[in-house]
Chain A
Amino acid sequence: MSTFLTLTVSGISLAALFFMVSAGLSLIFGLMGILNFAHGAFFLWGAYIWFEVFNRTGNFPLALLAALAAGAVLGAVTERVFIRPIYRRPLSQILVTLGLGLVLTQLVIAIWGVQPQYFASIPGLSKTWRVGDFYVPSYKLFVIAIGIVVLAAVWTLLRYTRIGLIVRAGVENPAMVESLGINVRTVFLGVFALGAGLAALGGAVFAPYVNSTTTDMGQTVLLSAIIVVVLGGLGSYLGSAVGALVIGLAQIYVPYYTFQLETSSLWPHGWPTNIDSSAASLISLVLLVAILLIRPQGLMGLKLEPGGL
């Protein structure tokens, strides 16, 4: 039982991380029809900006905010310069966002090098509580809390503001929103910036979770995030929360219960090791195939009516 609880806390905290990345990915896809392959690079940049600021100042909250802001700026510039000229050209979008992701990743390598970066422990968040065999690292609880704050903040934005109203309508039918006199493009820019900012925040929160930054962390997380988005329903905000929970828990439970790994292998790092990361990827892909066969619109996806763009 205590093992199960330990795994569950790990799974939920992993879900919170996935959610921060997939929420933006899903909204960007839903609103603009773009599958943003550069999203993993925003995550990566968030981690390294966080590292740089934290390493220099030792101020953890400041480093998180810096990552969020840097991600938002990066996202806004990306939308304006690279995405805007290629709306309605899906093939170009795939090539441009893939290419941009590679360039941004190489830039990280050029600046910080290939070697992982290590840093001091996070003040006030390095403790692990233990009750019998039940381990709760305080940082995982912090990650879960951040995930809940982000979920609630963006949900409030979507539900109770005019911008949110436009985004929700735009996910369904952007051409009709335009026909009501609303310049959807300016909303696109804002959503892209927000999505990139959240991905960067995810990266920043993720680095202490695995105790280092590595240059491939963006790619790894992007794959899981894409699966989360498809599972939850493309364009569905709450869907990506549900999808993240399913994938987060599955990636922790399945390797443990199939290979009977020691809980210690999941702790304190909480990120699957080599053996269980292949099992984790496998279960994600199995879930992906299952959802595409059984319910292609995703768990909470809209069944769009013909006529919408």
Chain B
Amino acid sequence: MSIQIPLATASVETAKTVLSLRNIHTYIAGSHILQGISLDVTEGQTTVLLGRNGAGKSTTLRTTMGNLPAAQGSITLDGHELRGKPAYFAARQGVGFVPEDREVFVSLTVEENLKLAQRGGASRGAAGIEQAYTLFPDLRQARSRSAGAMSGGQQQMLAIARAMMNRNRVMLVDEPTKGLAPVVVKQLATIFESLRDEGETILLVEQNLEFAARVGHRFYVLDEGRIVHGGRMDELTRDPELLRRYIGV
């Protein structure tokens, strides 16, 4: 994409932009939640969306997915418009989604959760499930157990594995560390590091700055429905003033 908003010029763009939001406005029950969000997600990178509670981070992901309608603006995946399309369209175009609070299907078994996510052409088939079990050995052990009986950390891994059952162009991941024990957060950090190293394209919402700094290439800061800052991750961690102002660290 050649259109660049001023915030994105902080880093030099060489790689391809996969997902691009331009001037997105979203209302929930009459409240103006997103007030003109623009951001780019670069191929093979992990882009982190930071900001306080209620800043609009989850709304940004849900709007991108198509679960919430954007009143205005444009959302493009590899140049194709997603705005106004249902969530299943975005998913079929290659947007994987790991929602806040995981939202695994608790009445299904672990393996049924994975099977459900497999779709015809894009599916990796039985190999996909095998791959998920290799990446998350806990899931193999619990394959015939109800997903509702698993721990929060295991459910998070299931949610991630579920999103990876098809070949994605980009994965939207909403606060994977939320409410999880430090030891699980460490495990997740290792997983996201390996995803990053394998060249997965990820848009990650995260409040845990240490986690974000460890896995992210680039960041945006959201505040009251607007992007207020953006740049390379290492620039953020070196700037205590910025951290204090927008993230409250």
From B100, B115, B166, contact of A181 by CB (8 A): B166
Complex interface: chain B residues within 8 A of A179 (CB): 65, 67, 87-88, 90-91, 97, 99
Contact A172 B86 (CB under 8 A): no
Contact B91 A166 (CB under 8 A): no
Expressed in whole angstroms, the minimum distance between the Cβ of B180 and any Cβ of chain A is 16
Q: How far is A166 from B162 in the complex, measured between Cα atoms in Å?
A: 14
Contact B67 A168 (CB under 8 A): no
Contact B88 A172 (CB under 8 A): no
Q: How far is A183 from B87 in the complex, measured between Cα atoms in Å?
A: 8
Contact A307 B103 (CB under 8 A): yes
Expressed in whole angstroms, the minimum distance between the Cβ of B80 and any Cβ of chain A is 15
Q: Let me know if A266 is at the binding interface, CB within 8 A.
A: no
Name the residue among A175, A176, A306 with the largest chain B CB count within 10 angstroms. A176
User: Quick one: which of A152-167 are within 8 Å of B by CB?
Assistant: 162, 165-166
Expressed in whole angstroms, the minimum distance between the Cβ of B173 and any Cβ of chain A is 13
Closest to B101 in A: A307
Contact B108 A168 (CB under 8 A): yes
Closest to A308 in B: B103
Contact B105 A173 (CB under 8 A): yes
Closest to B112 in A: A165
Complex interface: chain B residues within 8 A of A180 (CB): 88, 91, 97, 116-117, 119, 162
Q: How far is A306 from B105 in the complex, measured between Cα atoms in Å?
A: 13
Q: Let me know if B237 is at the binding interface, CB within 8 A.
A: no
Q: Let me know if A262 is at the binding interface, CB within 8 A.
A: no
Expressed in whole angstroms, the minimum distance between the Cβ of B99 and any Cβ of chain A is 7
From A168, A176, A181, contact of B103 by CB (8 A): A176
- Known contacts: A183-B88, A184-B88, A307-B100. The answer to whether A177 contacts B166 by CB under 8 A is no
Q: What does DSSP make chain A's interface, helix, strand, loop or mixed? A: helix
Q: Let me know if A169 is at the binding interface, CB within 8 A.
A: yes
Expressed in whole angstroms, the minimum distance between the Cβ of A202 and any Cβ of chain B is 26
Closest to A169 in B: B105
Contact B87 A178 (CB under 8 A): yes
Complex interface: chain B residues within 8 A of A181 (CB): 88, 91-92, 117, 119, 122, 166
Report the interface size for chain A: residues with CB under 8 A from the other chain. 23
Q: Let me know if A5 is at the binding interface, CB within 8 A.
A: no
Q: How far is A173 from B92 in the complex, measured between Cα atoms in Å?
A: 19
Complex interface: chain B residues within 8 A of A177 (CB): 116
Closest to A306 in B: B101
Q: Let me know if A145 is at the binding interface, CB within 8 A.
A: no
Q: Let me know if B194 is at the binding interface, CB within 8 A.
A: no
Q: B79-108 CB contact bits vs A (8 Å, 1 = yes)?
A: 000000011101110000101110101111
From A172, A183, A306, contact of B107 by CB (8 A): A172
- Known contacts: A168-B107, A181-B119, A184-B88. The answer to whether A175 contacts B162 by CB under 8 A is no
Q: How far is A178 from B95 in the complex, measured between Cα atoms in Å?
A: 12
Expressed in whole angstroms, the minimum distance between the Cβ of B160 and any Cβ of chain A is 13
Closest to B86 in A: A178
Q: How far is A175 from B69 in the complex, measured between Cα atoms in Å?
A: 13
Expressed in whole angstroms, the minimum distance between the Cβ of B183 and any Cβ of chain A is 24
Contact A305 B106 (CB under 8 A): yes
Q: A72-94 CB contact bits vs B (8 Å, 1 = yes)?
A: 00000000000000000000000
Q: Let me know if A282 is at the binding interface, CB within 8 A.
A: no
Contact A178 B91 (CB under 8 A): yes
Q: How far is A175 from B115 in the complex, measured between Cα atoms in Å?
A: 17
User: Quick one: which of B100-132 are within 8 Å of A by CB?
Assistant: 100-101, 103, 105-108, 112, 115-117, 119, 122
The 7 closest A-B pairs by CB, nearest first: A181-B91, A178-B87, A307-B101, A179-B97, A169-B105, A181-B92, A176-B103
Interface residues of chain B, those whose CB is within 8 Å of chain A, are: 65-67, 86-88, 90-92, 97, 99-101, 103, 105-108, 112, 115-117, 119, 122, 162, 166
**10 pairs across A/B with beta carbons < 8 Å?**
A168-B108, A178-B86, A178-B88, A179-B65, A180-B119, A180-B162, A181-B166, A184-B88, A302-B106, A306-B101
Interface residues of chain A, those whose CB is within 8 Å of chain B, are: 162, 165-166, 168-169, 171-173, 175-184, 302, 305-308
Beyond known contacts A180-B119, A184-B88: 10 more, CB 8 A cutoff: A171-B107, A179-B91, A179-B97, A179-B99, A180-B97, A180-B116, A181-B92, A182-B91, A302-B106, A305-B101
